[in-house]
Amino acid sequence: MAVAVLGAVVLDCPDPVALAGFYAGLLGGKIEEHEDWVDLTGGTGTPLAFQAAPGFVPPKWPRPEGSQQFHLDLTVPDLDAAEREALALGATVLEADDRERTFRVYADPAGHPFCLCAG
């Protein structure tokens, strides 16, 4: 029996409004600002929220041995088209040389890794 239901994935970052804008561009939805955080609502899937983190240090990719952090998998119908959009919104390529793979790895503007995955 489940004890809880996943309410949102919250990303720490230096600028919650800017990062919410990046993900709104990728996923759709509406940005809702609160006193201490920003929600991205109205999209499909698990909601995202963004919280200011003073002194934020982005994760490293490839991940150092023994330092596994989470990342987001975003399913897309067309990897090439999604890549163009993500880069135009401010993503950076982390690992996308193998064009035959069914996923490619990027970083959002705050440095969080995410994958675009063929769906």
- The pLDDT tens digits of the residues spanning 56-102 come to 988 888 766 656 567 899 999 999 999 999 999 999 999 999 999 99
**Final residue in a domain of this structure, among 54, 72, 96:** 54
- The count of structural domains within the chain is 2
- Residues of the chain with pLDDT > 90, as a percent, come to 72
Task: Tell me what percent of the chain is helix, strand and coil, each rounded to the nearest 5.
Answer: 20, 35, 50
Name the pTM for this structure. 0.86
Tell me the residue range of the domain where 34 lies: 1-54
37 and 70 share a domain? no
Q: Among residues 38, 54, 70, which one ends one of the domains?
A: 54
Q: Do 100 and 76 have their domain in common?
A: yes
Say whether both 45 and 65 belong to one domain.
Answer: no
How many angstroms separate the first and last alpha carbons of the chain? 30
